[in-house]
Structure 1
Amino acid sequence: MNETLPLGRIAGVRVGLHWSVLVIVALVTVALARGRFPDAHPGHSAIAYWALALLTAVVFLGSLLTHELAHAVVARRNGVQVEGITLWMLGGAARLHDEAPTPAAELRIAGVGPLTSLLAGGVLAGVAAGLDALHASGLVVEAFVWLAAINVLLAVFNALPAAPLDGGRLLRAYLWHRTGDRLRATRGASSAGRALGWFMVVTGFVAVLYGRDLSGLWAALIGWFLIGAATAEARQAEMRSLLGGVPVSRVMTPDPVTVPATATLADFLAEGPFGQYRHSAFPVLAADGSVTGVISIRRVEATPPQARASTMVHEVMRPLGDIVTAAPVEPVLGLLPRLQASPVRRALILDEGRLVGILTIADVTRALAWPGTPGPDGPHHGPPAQPKET
């Protein structure tokens, strides 16, 4: 889940919002302003209900952020790099660059999330009790009671033993410790996640159809997300198992077709798709043979047709600084997160500054689909390695 609005760094961790977080803010605000607050404490103005509801929704987001920050901080202390945190419609996501190195580290990283939410719930409940003892506004006390309850509920839900929830990671840590097999442990946690997801989908629709409870749609949505996330987690684990230690040079497309930086866009278009330019993006080379960027069909299409005969490739290409680059010996798994986040979904493979290959998501997919898996050192059971020019 990529961020839409960066918020900066907290405790050294990059934090951002995805646009869909507005959905949860709106839902919480409406539910409190039109439901819980006026039902529990009638007689206040609409402005009071809506203002406090919006403030409560923002504090709720803060508690989600605290939960994810706890994961991030403990992950870094256990040697796992953290790329950032994104808050979105269904909560938050701490993006970890690597996996936990041991079951014990997995246990610590996963367990701190529910504990943080539980602690937050306890603190908020204490604040609510204190305000009530001081005879503060019942409406304000109600907001703290709701925040305390929702944090405890989140702690309990997140502790369920099903991936991708924190409880699923705790289950994986246990199975990993018990069997010594990380892949097998991930499969078990992912299966539990899919089972929980389907249970929530079915019960959610039953609540809507027979109980006329529209909140069942929310449960079904969360269940559907769990199914997809658990399935993706299992696939990621399979991919890590298959590609672990495999260098980029074993998967990349060597000696890719390039485009001269001084070629016009009209000349470039004239060569494809029936000429040599049969793909959607190509490395761009300067006159001295050095790579300077990547030109894509989309960039060319954005140029007015009447200007293409006088516009050179280097004028509209993405410069090299915006492109993911890697060395041939770099592990594929280490490159994948950057490759997936790249705007052109390609990485240029450079050997001492010289272009020797290009890697796309399709290259990785082909390697995964091939019967047998190339190992970092052992016999190569995948597609035959293609020689590089020297």
Structure 2
Amino acid sequence: MHRATKLFRIFGIDVKLHYTWWFVFIFIAWSLASSFFPHYFPEYTTTEYWIMGIVASALLFVSVLLHELAHSLVAKAKNIKVDSITLFFFGGVASISKEDMKPSSEFFMAIAGPLFSIFLGGVFYVLHILDINGMWTAITFYLYQLNFILAAFNLVPGYPLDGGRALRAILYAYYKDITKATRIAAGLGKLFAGFLIVLGLVSLFSGIGTGLWFVLLGGFLYFIANISYQQVVIKSILDKITVQELSTKPTIVSPTLKFVDFMKKYGNSGKTTFIVKGKSFSGVLDINRIQRISPKMKDLVTVQQLSVSLHKIKTVSLKDTAYTAFKLITTQNIEILPVMHKKSLVSVITRQSLTNRLMWETKFHTIRKRKA
């Protein structure tokens, strides 16, 4: 997730904080200090309410972090790679590699978070009824409720919520078809997202300010559910195709070629991506990524200086799947990917060729479904 700052590393997992977290942290602290705590515990001063609000808001996000950490530790126990946990506007998200995950692994990983939230809710409830300290009693009153709510919300059987992931795992085990399982789970997720949006709109028209939160959350869940299903469809299509099937011979340009001469030769060719190669392959060039160059520099700067170095690019082989190429092109935010064989450049695969194949396969699949 972009614009996230690394806080620390625990169990080999980077914990990051997205800048949007601060907006929610401040909002929750303010709403607790100005409304929640004064309503349930009217005996405190404004300063004390703010102290309780800030502490409770911070501990809420610690609870969210522990919820995501529970997912991550189960994943690591199943030998699944976990890169990071990021706290952001809508809570937290763990960056977990889901390639070829077994249904049982996804199921246990999915329910680990809500189960730990239930455990935390129980801990805070016990601390609340012990009534050790007045302010602490108020804080734990809020935290035990929020952890139970967090668990209940995440157990809703709609993807991408934890309950939806568990449902997808069960459906995947039953149907042996990850695409079908995701379609059903994501469909339920979109229905739940639609319910949240409608609930939020009704609340807004009724003068309840929290309605906006439901609208935003519903929209976010709908977007993620839709994207998640699309990603599974893309994987199911491109996993069956090799890089060799979609790779083409590249247009090669000399690294010493001046930019002004390059534009004279290729400016109107319709081509936008090139391989930079002298005695050996050195990088790739994408015209659309070249920033504006001053007239004086056009006669001086070379193609080599404008290209992305080979050392900065992860490449593929002819035997790799097209989905592997798609992931690398997407994550590296490039348009052309070198195809290597025994450390030598043999061809390239482009974002456009992958997109065209996806469109063709999707259309062909739709036509076949209609005929069937």
TM-score (norm 1): 0.84
Equivalent AA in structure 1 for residue 274 of structure 2: F
The one of 301, 314, 325 aligned to 1:311: 301
Equivalent AA in structure 1 for residue 300 of structure 2: S
User: What is the aligned partner in structure 2 of residue 261 from structure 1?
Assistant: 255
Indicate the larger mover: 1-10 or 59-68.
1-10
- Does the 8 A contact of 1:325 with 1:347 survive in 2? yes
Q: Secondary structure at the match of 2:251?
A: coil
The one of 337, 344, 354 aligned to 1:354: 344
User: What is the aligned partner in structure 1 of residue 284 from structure 2?
Assistant: 294
User: What is the aligned partner in structure 1 of residue 275 from structure 2?
Assistant: 283
Task: Show CA shifts across 1:354-375 (max 9, x none).
Answer: 223333433322111114899x
After superposition, the Cα gap between the structure-2 partners of 1:181 and 1:266, relative to the gap in structure 1 and judged at 3 Å, is same
Task: Show CA shifts across 1:200-221 (max 9, x none).
Answer: 1112111111x21121111111
The one of 291, 311, 314 aligned to 1:324: 314
Q: Secondary structure at the match of 1:271?
A: helix
Unaligned runs of 5+ in 2: 365-372
User: What is the aligned partner in structure 1 of residue 324 from structure 2?
Assistant: 334
After superposition, the Cα gap between the structure-2 partners of 1:151 and 1:231, relative to the gap in structure 1 and judged at 3 Å, is same
Equivalent AA in structure 2 for residue 258 of structure 1: I
The number of residue pairs the alignment matches comes to 365
User: What is the aligned partner in structure 2 of residue 385 from structure 1?
Assistant: none
The one of 326, 347, 356 aligned to 1:366: 356
- Does the 8 A contact of 1:299 with 1:317 survive in 2? no
User: What is the aligned partner in structure 1 of residue 231 from structure 2?
Assistant: 236
Q: Secondary structure at the match of 1:325?
A: coil
- Does the 8 A contact of 2:335 with 2:352 survive in 1? no
After superposition, the Cα gap between the structure-2 partners of 1:361 and 1:23, relative to the gap in structure 1 and judged at 3 Å, is farther
The one of 160, 166, 170 aligned to 1:164: 160
Paired with 1:282 and 1:143, the residues of 2 have a C-alpha distance of 60
After superposition, the Cα gap between the structure-2 partners of 1:372 and 1:224, relative to the gap in structure 1 and judged at 3 Å, is closer
Counterparts in 2 of 1:1-390, with a 5 A limit?
1-2=1-2, 4-42=4-42, 44=44, 46-99=46-99, 101-130=101-130, 132=131, 134=132, 136=133, 138-209=134-205, 211-252=206-247, 254-275=248-269, 278-279=271-272, 281-285=273-277, 287-288=278-279, 290-297=280-287, 300-371=290-361
- Does the 8 A contact of 1:8 with 1:14 survive in 2? yes
Unaligned runs of 5+ in 1: 375-390
For residue 311 of structure 1, report the CA deviation from its aligned partner: 1.8
User: What is the aligned partner in structure 2 of residue 386 from structure 1?
Assistant: none
Instruction: Output the aligned Cα RMSD.
Output: 2.6
User: What is the aligned partner in structure 2 of residue 379 from structure 1?
Assistant: none
For residue 48 of structure 1, report the CA deviation from its aligned partner: 4.0
- Does the 8 A contact of 1:37 with 1:139 survive in 2? no
For residue 159 of structure 1, report the CA deviation from its aligned partner: 0.3
- Does the 8 A contact of 2:338 with 2:348 survive in 1? yes
- Does the 8 A contact of 1:106 with 1:169 survive in 2? yes
Equivalent AA in structure 2 for residue 339 of structure 1: I
TM-score (norm 2): 0.88
Q: Secondary structure at the match of 2:301?
A: coil
- Does the 8 A contact of 1:30 with 1:53 survive in 2? yes
- Does the 8 A contact of 1:3 with 1:16 survive in 2? no
Equivalent AA in structure 2 for residue 176 of structure 1: Y
Equivalent AA in structure 2 for residue 278 of structure 1: K
